[in-house]
Amino acid sequence: MKLSTLLSISQLSIGAEEKLGLAYSNPSANELISLGANAKRTERMLAFLAHGGARVVFYGMASYPAPLYQLDNPPFRLMYKGDLPKQTDRFLMVCGTRCPDALASRSSYEFALEAGANGVVVVTSNSRGIDRNCLYALKDSNKAALVVCDCGLAVKRITSNTLLAGFCTISAFEPDDQALSFRCLSRNVLSTALAEATVVMQAPLKSGALHCATCALDLGRDVYVHSTGTRTGEVNTGSRSLAEMGAEVVTGYPDVALRHDWPQDRRIQAGSLYRFGPSCYSLSHA
């Protein structure tokens, strides 16, 4: 089947199963246009895949992330750069505020560092703050991350972020789609669906991390709150409320590993952290 046909089908306002059934019928370009596909959008996606260094996976393919099948309406098309993790990998989502304090920055760095060292793939986003601190840790230690984006992969928000190089970045949106609030919410659904558990490091009441926690709970996933997010202060009000409502509090990766029977052979401390702009990073993690 032509790639252009699948890309055209992905534009239609029908469910993933219906799109898959339509794909098996091998419709013509004119049929797809009559159903609502836009030829110019298809051409833009084809051009991006040909020259943008990205690949695409469709619902029903062997490499399509298996956890997404649990969603009511999973994305039919996912564009990605880098290598998709193996279906057998362990996935853990770490999220939190875009404006963490120094302790939360250090804690998120150390948490991701230790998770990566024990072979767990950290699922996070391209946002600054807690998510970016996790990526710094995984970049420093040359470990894997799955970065779920809130926009298309051709958007400057992604292409100008050199920290993302070497990680698998994945997007359910078309290449030129800008980050909008509803796309951030959609990104949160995908992120929590991909991970077996979600850890909220630190979050105020209006943080998107609370939406991630809600999505995870709706999917039957475990939600944990890091102890650094249970302290007093406005920046902790959201994460503290999760703990008060019953979310289990953890002090580090070993607590999560113990509950999920994951490896915890390697214990790593980050050592000194250095601030650069809004984020913290470490020059050595041994």
Task: For residue range 87-122, list pLDDT tens digits in order.
Answer: 999 999 999 999 999 899 889 989 999 999 999 999
* Predicted local distance difference test score (pLDDT) of residue 266: 85
Paired tokens of 269: 């401390």
* Predicted local distance difference test score (pLDDT) of residue 285: 45
Do the bridges between strand 279-281 and strand 120-125 make them parallel or antiparallel, or are there none, so unpaired?
unpaired
Paired tokens of 134: 């996790």
Name the one residue in this structure whose structure tokens are 């013509």.
28
Contacts of 95 (CB under 8 A, 6+ apart): 124, 125, 130, 131, 191, 198, 199, 200, 201, 203, 208, 209, 212
* Predicted local distance difference test score (pLDDT) of residue 286: 40
Q: Show the low-confidence residues of the chain (pLDDT under 70).
A: 269-286
Paired tokens of 97: 């505020």
* Predicted local distance difference test score (pLDDT) of residue 95: 97
In terms of Cβ atoms closer than 10 Å to its own Cβ (0-12, 13-18, 19+), residue 162 is exposed
Q: Where are the domains of the chain?
A: 3-81, 90-148+176-281
Select the CATH number that applies to the domain covering 90-148+176-281 from these four: 3.20.10.10, 3.40.50.10260, 3.40.30.10, 3.40.50.450. Answer: 3.40.50.450
- H-state helical runs in the chain: 3-9, 16-24, 29-35, 39-51, 102-117, 130-140, 156-159, 181-194, 208-218, 237-244, 253-260
* Predicted local distance difference test score (pLDDT) of residue 277: 56
Cα separation, 86 vs 67, in Å, equals: 12
Q: What is the DSSP string of 83-109?
A: -PPPTTSEEEEEE--SS--HHHHHHHH
pTM over 0.85: yes
- Direct distance between the N- and C-terminal alpha carbons of the chain, in angstroms, rounded to an integer: 50
| C-beta of residue 282 within 8 angstroms of C-beta of residue 270 | yes
